[in-house]
Structure 1
Amino acid sequence: MSGLIDLHCHMLPGVDDGAKDLPFALDMARAAVNEGISHILLTPHHMDGDYTNHKKDVLERVSTFQEEITQAQIPLTVFPGQEVHLTGDLLKAIDQDDILYMDEGGRYLLLELPHSGVPEYTEDIIFELRTRGITPVIAHPERNHGFQKNPNKIYDFVEMGCLMQLTSSSYLGIFGKDIETLTSKIIDANLGCAFASDAHNFKGRRFVMQEAFRKLEREKGDFFAEQFNNNAKSIINGDPVERGEIQKISTRKKFWFF
Structure 2
Amino acid sequence: MKNSHQFTHLLVRNRIKDSKIWLAGFRAHRPQRIAAGLQERLILKNVNPIDSNEECFVIFDTLDPVKTAEFIESASLREFKSSLGLVAEPEYSYLTALDDFKLPLKTDNSDILKRVHSAFERVDTMDSAGFAEAFGFDSVFQFGNLPAVRGRENIQNFVDYFFTQLKSISHKIESSHCDDLSVSIRGVVSYIRKDGTQLDLAFSNFISSTDGHQFSLWQIYMDPSPLHEGVSKE
Q: Structure 1 length as normaliser, TM-score? A: 0.29
Structure having the higher strand fraction is 2
Q: Structure 2 length as normaliser, TM-score? A: 0.31
